[in-house]
A and B are shown apart, each in its own frame.
Chain A
Amino acid sequence: MHIVVCTKYTPDSEAKMSVDEEGNISWGDSPLIINPWDEYSVEEALLLRDQHGGTVTVLSVGPEAALEALKHAVAMGADEAVRVWDEACAGSDTLATSYVLAKAVEKMGDVDLVLCGKSTIDAQTWQTGVALATRLGWPSLMYTINLVELRSEERSITVERLLEEGRQVVEAPLPAVLGTTKGINEPRYTSFIGIRKAAQMEYPLWTLEDIGAEREKVGPQGSGVRWPEVFEPPAREGEAEIIEAETIEEKARILTEMLLAEKVI
C-alpha cells in the first residue's frame, strides 16, 4: 500500500487574524502548525499502514513554511515527505492547488489511496479533496467518519460517511481519495523518536517542472476565485442576560424556554 496524505500548514488555531486597509491578511506572530484536520488523515494513514503494510507519504504544496506540517506528520510516524513549490504557485485557489497535488500524485505513480482533511482552518473552502479526486478521476469519499474495511487484495474500500442527513456506507474501488473528519480516530501526539527522524530527514522539493505541471494552470492565472475586496467583518453586537431564579432547576427551565422561543433548540 502506498498512502499519500495531503497536508497544509496553517496558523495556530488560537491566532488572531486581522486585515489591514489594503486588504492584507495577517495572523500576527502566531506559530505555524499542521492544519489540525489533517492530523486525522495522518493518523488514519498510519493505522492503515500498520494494518496492511506499505508506506505513508505526506505531500504539501507550499513555501518553506510548509515544512512545519510535513515535519509534524513525520514526527507522528509518516515514512516520506514531499514538498512541491514554485513562486508561481503563490495565490493558488483550490482549483489550482488540486491541479498541483494531482500532478504530484501522478508523478509518484503507485499511489493506492490519498487522504485529505475535511478542510483547512484558515481558508475553510472544503473543496481541495473533491477537486483532487475529480482531477485524478478517482472516487471521492469525503466526510469519512469510519473506515469500515480496506481490501488490498481486491483493491476496494468500504467507508462510512457522515452527512447532514445521516450516515452513508459506500464501497469504492482503489485508488480513491478519502476525506477524513473529526471522530474517525484520535490523532497521536508526536514522539521523541519521531521528532528525531523529522529533524534529521531530508525533505525533497519538487518544482513544477519535476511534476510536469503547466505554469498557466497555477497561481492566480490558474485560479477561478478572484478577491476584489478583503475586509474585516463588522464586530458582532450582542447582549448578555443573567437568568435570576431560586433554584438551578428553575434557571434551567427558564433557559430552555428562552432557547425554544428563539428556535435555537
Chain B
Amino acid sequence: MDFGWTEEQRLWRRAVRDFAQNEIAPRVREIDEEEFIPREIVAGMADVGLLAPTVGEEYGGAGADWMMATIAAEELGRADISLAVPVLYLVEAAWGFIFYRYGSSGLKQEYLPRVTRGEAFLGIATTEPGGGSDILGACRTRGQRDGDRWVFNGEKVYISGVRESLDWGGIHLMLARTDPDEDAGHRAFTFFALPLKGTGGVIPTYFDDMGRMGISTGGFALDEVRLPLEHQVGELNKGFYHAMEGFSAARTLIGATCVGASEAALAMGMDQIKLREAFGRPIASFEGVQFPLANLYTDLEGVRLSTYKAAWLMDQMYRHGAATHHDIALAAAMAKLKAPRLGFSIMNEVADWHGAMAYTKECPIEMGIRGIRSYSIGAEGTPNVMRMIIARELLGKDFLPTLYTNKS
C-alpha cells in the first residue's frame, strides 16, 4: 500500500491546478451565463495536455495513464463546480480513449490531432428516446450495410456536445443496432464515428439544461445517414462491450470530478462557517454545523480513495494486464454511484451554511447543485444501473434482473 503520489503525479496536479484556478475558476459564472466554454480556455487546455490526454502522442495526445487523467478530472472539478469544463474534459478523455483503442487508423489520423488541439469535439451517443439504461431494449437506431457504405436511421437524445460538434467539427461515437436478430442479445450493436457537421441526414435538436450550462446537451435524428465503412469503430457487433469499457473510464473520471467539486464546495463552506457568527460565536463551533462537516468529509475521503482505486485498476489492466474489466466495472460503478450523490449532499449542506445568500447567484454553490445533479440523475449510468453492475460482480450473471425480465 502506498498512498503517496509520484513526482510526476505531484507536478501534474500542480500544473492542472495552476491552469484551472487561473484560467477557468474566475470565469465559471460567465461560462454558466453565456452557455459556452470560451475557445481560449479550450486552447489553453490543449496546450497543457488536457484534451483527450490518454490518446497516444502519435495522435497529439499526452499518452497519460488513468491516474494522471483522474488527477486532472479532480482538479477541473475543483475549479469549475458547475461541471461544464469537466464534462468536456471527461467525455473526450473516456471516449477519445475508446476511439484511440478501436478506431480505424485513417479516421484517427483525421480526427484525434484536431481533438487534442481543441479544434474538434469527440463525444458519445448511446441514449435514445426509449431510454439509456436498457441498451438492449432502447437502442433502436439501425445501421445497415449498403455496398461500401453504412446507412443509419434512428434518433439519439440527451447527448453532450452536439452544438460543440456542429460548431467545431468532430465526431460522436454512436451505438447502432447492426444485427436485427432480437436474440443476438448484447452482440447486436456496433460503434460508429459520426461527424455531425457536414453529414447529410443528421437533424440536430437541443435541450435547455438545468445545469452545467457551458456545454450543450442535444440530440439528433438520423435520416438515411450514409458513412464510409472506415467509420466503424471496433469489431462488428461488439459495440456494447466497447461501450462498457468507455463507460467504466468515464465513471471513474466522473467520480473524480465530483470529488473535486465537492472538495471545492467544502472548502468554501469551511471558510464561511469560520467567519460567520450567530449567537455570539462562529457557526463552525456549533455541533449542528461541525458534525455534518465531519461526516461529509469522512464520506468524501472514502469516495476519493475508491475513485483513485478505480483509476489504479484501469492502469493495472491497460498498462500491466494485471486486472480485468470486471475489476474495473465494479470499482468504477462504486465511484459513480457514490460521488455524485455525495457531492449533491455536500453542496446542499454548504448552501445551508451560507443561508439566504446561497439561494442567490452571488454565491456559486447554486451552479454546483444544478451541475452535479446531472451525474446523480444519470449521465453515463443511473444509480440503479450502478447498483446492478455492483450486484452482478458480487453475485454473478445468473442473478441479473434482466435475465428474469427477458424470461417473463
Count CB-based A-B contacts (< 8 Å): 43
Which residue of A31, A191, A198 is within 8 Å of B49 (Cβ)?
A191
Chain A, interface size category, equals 10 to 19
B148 is an interface residue with CB less than 8 A from chain A: no
Which residue of B6, B47, B57, B68 is within 8 Å of A189 (Cβ)?
B47
Contact present for B44 and A190 (CB under 8 Å): no
> Nearest chain A CB to B338's CB is how many angstroms away?
28
Contact present for B48 and A189 (CB under 8 Å): yes
Contact present for B47 and A188 (CB under 8 Å): yes
Cβ proximity bits B6-39 to A, threshold 8 Å, 1 near / 0 not: 1110011011001100000000000000000000
B53 is an interface residue with CB less than 8 A from chain A: yes
- Complex formed: what's the CA distance from A83 to B281 in Å? 51
Contact present for A192 and B62 (CB under 8 Å): yes
Contact present for A199 and B8 (CB under 8 Å): yes
Contact present for B7 and A192 (CB under 8 Å): no
> Nearest chain B CB to A50's CB is how many angstroms away?
14
Which residue of A188, A189, A191, A199 is within 8 Å of B7 (Cβ)?
A199
A193 is an interface residue with CB less than 8 A from chain B: yes
Query: Interface on chain A toward B: helix, strand, loop, or mixed SS?
Result: helix
> Nearest chain A CB to B308's CB is how many angstroms away?
18
Q: B49 — which chain A residues lie within 8 A by C-beta?
A: 191-193
Within 8 A of B (CB), among A155-190: 188-190
A75 is an interface residue with CB less than 8 A from chain B: yes
- Complex formed: what's the CA distance from A75 to B14 in Å? 11
Q: B14 — which chain A residues lie within 8 A by C-beta?
A: 31
- Complex formed: what's the CA distance from A250 to B11 in Å? 50
- Complex formed: what's the CA distance from A20 to B11 in Å? 32
Contact present for B6 and A199 (CB under 8 Å): yes
Contact present for B47 and A195 (CB under 8 Å): no
B46: nearest chain-A partner, CB-CB: A191
> Nearest chain A CB to B22's CB is how many angstroms away?
8
> Nearest chain B CB to A207's CB is how many angstroms away?
24
A76: nearest chain-B partner, CB-CB: B15
> Nearest chain B CB to A64's CB is how many angstroms away?
13
A71 is an interface residue with CB less than 8 A from chain B: yes
> Nearest chain B CB to A18's CB is how many angstroms away?
20
> Nearest chain B CB to A30's CB is how many angstroms away?
13
- Complex formed: what's the CA distance from A75 to B8 in Å? 10
A196 is an interface residue with CB less than 8 A from chain B: yes
Q: Please indicate which of the listed interface residues B6, B44, B49 has the most CB atoms of chain A within 10 Å of its own CB.
A: B49
Q: B68 — which chain A residues lie within 8 A by C-beta?
A: 192
Q: B12 — which chain A residues lie within 8 A by C-beta?
A: 192, 195
5 nearest CB pairs, A to B: A192-B49, A192-B62, A199-B8, A190-B15, A199-B7
Q: Which A residues contact B (CB, under 8 angstroms)?
A: 31, 71, 75, 188-193, 195-196, 198-200
Known pairs A191-B62, A193-B49; list 18 more (Cβ under 8 Å). Answer: A75-B11, A188-B47, A189-B15, A189-B18, A189-B44, A190-B48, A191-B15, A191-B48, A192-B12, A192-B15, A192-B50, A192-B62, A192-B64, A193-B62, A195-B11, A198-B11, A199-B6, A199-B7
